[in-house]
Structure 1
């Protein structure tokens, strides 16, 4: 039976009053009706003065900067009302994610408290403890996790944060204490697949991955590449090497992982292409290839992974582009949903582990053999 129009509009008003700014597309998905239907409802409600309409967004009639989630009662742990947003320092990839999250939270009238974690294992815990002591009511976090042991060390305390928490661009080990924590992440297996499939389609059969090994993203890309390259019969030879001395936790040389001469490796293995992670390392490796007489793409096709600055090279690099800002937006929307449920006394729904697919930006660094 079709839901009565007035009942549906009452539900729209209830969601908007609880959360503040809500996308029309989000309302349509939650009410299980078309976007056109919700847009018409929002227009009618706006004309009646019952809510305010923005570009693809419905807002309550209250003041522009009123918090989107009902303020907690005095004396509650979340009296300060801020959302703590924790990201590593010097991490341009995650800064795009940060800005995506911030846009959604500020649109919803939420105060954002940004915390930048220094480059040290466990640095996030002190920042989170301080944010919670100051009354943060929710947490969006992208821990650095340079190594698997550093990641494991954070599982226990982060699982017990005590406020709604969403991991951004992180997918904890299956079965760990954080497995059942809300998270929004890029599908890096798919991103790596895009890079390899693009090169194979151009006729390349011998591929090198020069990659970092100091973040969950890097470890995911390395594992995905090995899985994909080994499983594609078209690939005749493949190898995985470290992209730079600073691209692994601890001294790379001491661990016997000094980055090789990439030009020499390409010649030795007869490779005609390379996937390079991340962008800065990719641009520097391409510069070194040019110094060694290896032309990109004439002698070697290159696909970068990250697409933060890949387009700015002398030869703009074809790149896998994870949806960085969209990750932040989706994580913030999920957190707002959790906060609204908590404020309304609604039991928490199932944990959400959201994956968004990267895209491939084809530029001038790849060509057919």
Structure 2
């Protein structure tokens, strides 16, 4: 006899509540019904508010009782924590390395997951790792545009496990505002770069950013405000560091500041723009573009730092150039360590109210900036 739908749904609820997160395919196999039937049941239970539906998974809306352990779930080494970062992002890999040390010392099993370069790539990846039993999430979403960030906020705030967002500062008032986050204070980092150049006598400065990340947008916004408020700066502009660099919107730009579409540009690229603006200094995000600029300037007979000072932002490989670059160094590993400590506390049922932490970058003075 075929099982009534209400009885089947009660069984689904019981399984989900006992495990926290379950794959729809696994539920179908255990109940010996089709995936389509279970998916329909899960959708109905989601509409009734009895569970949450994800990408191929069902999640409990109630706390899941776990046996005691060092992190509040299982024994040492049993609890899995997922670290999710964008692909080809060396900066964030350093942050994740800092986090891994703390998590492993706490007896947690760590799984690193790389999100491909595609809008919304984190969602199915996170759903999958949670269905596999991850008890916590430490994530640095790509968020190539502000619109992508806005679209992800509600989803990420409701994943159902302790979550810490790293090197991202969720917009105030968004669904992620009250989710734990740890990041670098990029306003302060840009302040260090500009203040250093101004102290060396530079009055005409260009900022070049790739503008394909939340960090790039934060740096652009900080530079515009800092440069606008510095009376000593005679001329400044923002440009893209490479022709293929994407443009991303920054909402809420006050009236005195240029629209994102009005980036400085030149037929001669960044080097041409520096000449047209008679700029004596450039700040670049990140290191690779800064090192390439030094090479391009040399090809045009422009010496660094004698004719043009260059400051890099990131300090991943800035020190390895033929001219070691003065660079702003965000506390990458420390951001990861602190984010992991917050996550460990959450998994243990401690930690108090949500935390929004910003750590201050440092300026590493080398050989690419000099006094005029």
Equivalent residue pairs, number? 290
Tell me which residue corresponds to 1:164: 162
1:68 aligns with 70
Name the structure 1 match of 2:288: 280
Give 1:156 deviation, angstroms. Answer: 1.4
CA contact (8 A) 1:141 1:166 kept: yes
1:327 corresponds to 2:325: no
Give CA-to-partner distance per residue, 1:125-176, whole Å, 9 cap, x none: 1110001101111000000111111111111111101000000000111111
Cα 1:249–1:115 change in 2 (3 A) is farther
- Per-residue deviation, residues 6-48 of structure 1 (Å, max 9, x unmatched): xxxxxxxxxxxxxxxxxxxxxxxxxxxxxxxxxxxxxxxxxxx
Counterpart among 169, 172, 175 of residue 177 in structure 1: 175
The question of whether the paired residues in 2 share the 8 Å contact of 1:302 and 1:317 is answered with yes
Contact residue 84 and residue 113 of structure 2 kept, 8 A? yes
1-structure distance, mates of 2:218, 2:294: 23
Partner of 2:368: 365
TM-score, normalised by the number of residues in structure 1:
0.75
The alpha-carbon deviation at position 263 of structure 1 amounts to 2.2
User: Paired residue for 2:119?
Assistant: 121
1:202 positional shift: 0.4
Deviation at 1:212, TM superposition (A): 1.6
Contact 1:187 1:356 in 2 (8 A): yes
Contact residue 192 and residue 328 of structure 2 kept, 8 A: yes
- Is there any run of 5+ residues in structure 1 with no aligned partner, and where? 1-65, 74-78
**1:241 — aligned with what?**
239
Q: CA deviation at 1:249?
A: 5.3
User: For the residues of structure 2 that align with 1:199 and 1:150, how far apart are their CA atoms?
Assistant: 34
Report the counterpart of residue 220 of structure 1 in structure 2. Answer: 218
Counterpart contact for 1:181–1:351, Cα < 8 Å: yes
> Helix, strand or coil for the counterpart of 1:122?
coil
Unaligned 5+ residue runs, structure 2?
A: 1-67, 249-260
Task: Measure the CA separation in 2 of the matches of 1:119 and 1:285.
Answer: 25
Shift in CA distance, 150/106, structure 1 to aligned 2, threshold 3 Å:
same
SS at 1:137's partner residue? strand
The separation in 1 between residues aligned to 2:69 and 2:96, in whole angstroms, is: 20
Give TM-score, length-normalised by structure 2.
Answer: 0.75
Q: Is the 8 A contact 2:206 2:238 kept in 1?
A: yes
The equivalences for 1:185-204 within 5 A come to 185-204=183-202
Corresponding position: 1:354 with 2:362? no
Partner of 1:21: none
The reply on whether 1:111 has 2:109 as its aligned counterpart is yes
Which residue in 1 is equivalent to 2:137? 139
> What stretches of structure 1 move > 2 A for 4+ residues in a row?
70-73, 255-260
Question: Per-residue displacement from partner, 1:236-290 (whole Å, max 9, x unpaired)?
Answer: 110000001232159xxxx897964222212211111010111111111221111
Alpha carbons 1:87, 1:94 under 8 Å: kept:
yes
